[in-house]
Chain A
Amino acid sequence: MSSPSTPLLEVRDLRIGFPNPRGGEVFPVDGVSFRLDRGETLALVGESGCGKSLTSLALLQLLPPPGRVLSGSSIKLEETEILSLRGEALRAIRGRRIAMIFQDPMTSLNPVLTVGSQVVEALTAHRRWSRADAKARTIALFEEVGIPDPAQRFAAYPHHLSGGLRQRIMIAMALAGEPDILIADEPTTALDVTVQAQILELLDRLRAARGMAVLLITHDLGLVAGRADRVAVMYAGQIVEEAGTTDLFERPSHPYTRGLFRSIPRLHESVLRLSPIPGTVPLPSAWPSGCRFHPRCAEVLARCSTEAPLNTELETTGPARRTRCWLASPLPPRA
């Protein structure tokens, strides 16, 4: 009985802890909140080590041990609190409500089983199928994800297929449970540039056809344009800016986002040198005080090193925008 305003997925104050080998605990994901609505694509963008992949793994309780989600965190799928699920109840969500595809299709398929049997496995994880029906359904899924000669591919082994075809097989496996949400964790990073565009187009077509929501995890802001409805930019375990894609591209409000844009090569502008963001992403064991971006920020203020900026809501005509920066102009106080 979800009201129209209830999001499909709502993550609130997600914190993930890992024991620090040198004692204590570190928090690579430290207070992440976002929502995902039916049928939309949200891109979670950030550099390596910002916590975006851990965030996505936590959604299915797949954190590698000894990682843990801290109490006080909440991940709600409609009315269900995913973090409190165990055993069979959790298995019923995985693949059936939320499915996930991973970065490297070379290693995400079992090398000793045929790709057909692996899709059949994903089908039978949630429902009984006769052997013939499961095979027919698998071939139909192969067709849906654009695999040529789907019937012949059923008996192929992963090493017979190219990277792009393997990623399509992974997508077919993810679709087998008819999920409401598809998490794509860097789905094109391991692929050739020409194949990247095809896979992203396929994901978008499937999202539209099936009314799925897509959570696209990527480090590449360039991939996001035209494909995501909204973008959340992560830095050092936090979402530093969240906006509609058009808003974000037209007027990025966080200095980190602006820095990311400056470091993307552009065809139409004659820039002699790209300007990368100086320095490197801090380690979770040494998150800077105040604003976590301040040591690398080009527009740093005195207060940035001591006071953490609030998550400020900005004025917009599009989807809600928020930014964690002292420079952002807040909304005028409500009457």
Chain B
Amino acid sequence: MRGSLKRVFATAWHTPSGQVGAVTLLLIALVAVTITPFLPDPRIMPDLSGGAAPPSFAHPFGTDAFSRDILSRVVHGARVSLSIAALAVALSISLGAAVGTTAGYFGGWVDAVLMRSVDAAMAIPRLFILLLLVLVWERIPPAALVAVIGATGWFATSRLVRGEVLRLRELDYIRAAKALGAGSPGIIFRHVLPNTLGPLIVAATLGVGEVILLEAGLSFLGLGIAPPTPTWGGMVHDSESLMATAPWTGLFPGAAIVITVLAVNLWGEAMRAAVDPRTA
């Protein structure tokens, strides 16, 4: 897979959906990094009596209930929301792939133990697990939030990967590789895992949107990133009560979420097609 990872990126880049997705994501990242220093501090509440003001020249996206500049909060929030989403998804996808591959490839009691544990874990609502953590942390540090979201998000992925591996390991070319003396690690890393990339990328792109929204829900429960640090999910949540009187408070962070998730999905779709050389 060494040289071919570069080829996969190149192929994905040369599709319309890949280009739109990648350019959008790069723009979001670029904006988040470059214009941040020129914006007012998103945490400071300049005027407690002012309330939410509609978009104006001074505040292009308007201000929220605490008169904070929404543009500044959306841009700052991009850093927090996107890095949490990216890291948590990377963690949950890796865990899911590792567990699913182990269970599917080795089968037998390994499979039984791992998959019954996953069944048990899936029976507990994710929010309940997260609520338990309020007991541990009053204010959850971002690294712990990433770990918690990642560690509770891989169950479905592991099932998906296991199913795929069960199918793959019976294939002729796996048997052929075994017949010519390939060992288990070689077979797993060269023949099995690359062929699960398609479903994994789909799971990852869906996961990014899910994590952004989950973080919003957690903020509402006081479990997410603590105010006044802005996150997209948190902003959408805060705007709920203002939707009738000040819709711009939810519109802009909501649009940021939609555009980002869409861009991630477009790029993911291009990557999925690119890992399969038959469609490339």
Chain A positions within 8 Å of B, measured between CB atoms, are: 60, 62, 64-65, 91-96, 99-102, 104, 107-113, 121-122, 125-126, 157, 159, 170, 173-174, 176-177
Q: Is B182 an interface residue (CB 8 A)?
A: yes
Contact for A100 among B4, B176, B182, CB less than 8 A = B176
A101, A113, A170: the one contacting B190 at CB < 8 Å is A113
Is A111 in contact with B278, judged by CB distance below 8 angstroms?
yes
Contact B278 A110 (CB under 8 A): no
Q: Please judge, given known A-B contacts A102-B176, A125-B186, whether A107 and B275 are in contact too, CB under 8 Å.
A: no
Chain A residues positioned under 8 Å from B276 (CB to CB): 111-112
Interface size class of B (residues with CB under 8 A): 20 to 34
Given contacts A64-B170, A110-B191, A121-B186, 13 further A-B contacts (CB under 8 A): A94-B180, A104-B172, A107-B171, A107-B172, A110-B177, A110-B195, A112-B194, A112-B276, A113-B194, A125-B183, A159-B277, A174-B180, A177-B180
A91/B172 in contact, CB under 8 A: no
Chain A residues near B171 (CB-CB < 8 A): 107
State how many angstroms separate the Cβ of A190 from the closest Cβ of chain B.
Answer: 11
Q: A112-B275, A125-B186 are in contact. Are A95 and B194 (CB under 8 A)?
A: no
In angstroms, Cα B182 to Cα A100, docked, is: 13
B173 and A108: CB pair below 8 A? yes
- Residues of chain A lying within 8 A (CB to CB) of residue B170: 64
Q: Is B181 an interface residue (CB 8 A)?
A: yes
- Given the known interface contacts A107-B171, A121-B186, A125-B186, the answer about A112 and B176 at a Cβ–Cβ threshold of 8 Å is no
Task: Mark B177-200 against chain A: 1 for CB-CB distance below 8 A, else 0.
Answer: 111111100100011001100000
B180 to chain A, nearest CB (A): 4
Tell yes or no: B126 within 8 A of A by CB.
Answer: no
Taking the nearest CB of chain B, how far is it from the CB of A100, in angstroms?
Answer: 4
DSSP class of A's interface residues: helix, strand, loop or mixed?
Answer: loop
Contacts of A100 in B (CB 8 A): 176, 179-180
Contacts of A121 in B (CB 8 A): 177, 182, 186, 190
Least CB distance, A57 to chain B, in whole angstroms: 8
Whether the pair A110, B173 counts as a contact (CB closer than 8 A) is: yes
Task: Closest B residue to A64 by CB, please name it.
Answer: B170
- The answer to whether A125 and B176 have CB atoms under 8 Å apart is no
Complex Cα–Cα for A173 and B107 (A): 28
Query: Residues of B at under 8 Å CB distance from A?
Result: 4, 107, 170-173, 175-183, 186, 190-191, 194-195, 275-278
Q: Is there contact, CB below 8 Å, between B172 and A95?
A: no
Contacts of B180 in A (CB 8 A): 94-95, 99-100, 122, 125, 173-174, 176-177
List of A residues within 8 angstroms of B190 by Cβ: 110, 113, 121
Q: Judging by beta carbons under 8 Å apart, are A159 and B278 in contact?
A: yes
Residues A96 and B181 in contact, CB atoms below 8 Å apart: yes
How far apart are the CA atoms of A108 and B180 in the complex, in Å? 12
- Going nearest first, the 6 A-B pairs with the smallest beta carbon separation are A95-B181, A95-B180, A125-B181, A107-B172, A100-B179, A94-B181
Chain A contacts of B195 at CB under 8 A? 110, 112
The smallest beta-carbon distance between A242 and chain B, in angstroms, is 25
Say which residue of B107, B178, B191, B194 sits within 8 Å of A94 (CB atoms). B178
Closest CB in chain B relative to A110 CB, distance in Å: 5
Which residues of chain A come closer than 8 Å to B194, judged between CB atoms? 112-113
Closest-CB distance, B173 to chain A (whole angstroms): 5
CB distance from B83 to the nearest CB of A (A): 31
Evaluate contact between A177 and B277: CB separation under 8 angstroms: no
Nearest to B108 among chain A residues (CB) is: A65
In Å, the complex CA distance between A108 and B276 comes to: 17
Tell me the nearest residue of chain A to B280, going by C-beta: A157
- Most B CB within 10 A of own CB, among A93, A112, A157, A159: A112
Report the Cα distance A108→B4, complex, angstroms. 21
A177 x B181 contact (CB < 8 A)? yes
User: What B residues does A91 contact at CB under 8 A?
Assistant: 181-183
Cross-chain pairs A/B with CB under 8 angstroms, 10 sampled: A93-B181, A94-B179, A95-B180, A99-B179, A100-B179, A108-B176, A113-B190, A113-B191, A121-B182, A125-B180
The answer to whether A107 touches B181 (Cβ under 8 A) is no
Q: CB distance A108 to B278 under 8 Å?
A: no
What A residues does B179 contact at CB under 8 A? 60, 62, 94-95, 99-100, 102
Complex Cα distance, B179 from A173, in Å, reads: 10
- Tell me if B173 and A109 are in contact (CB < 8 A): yes
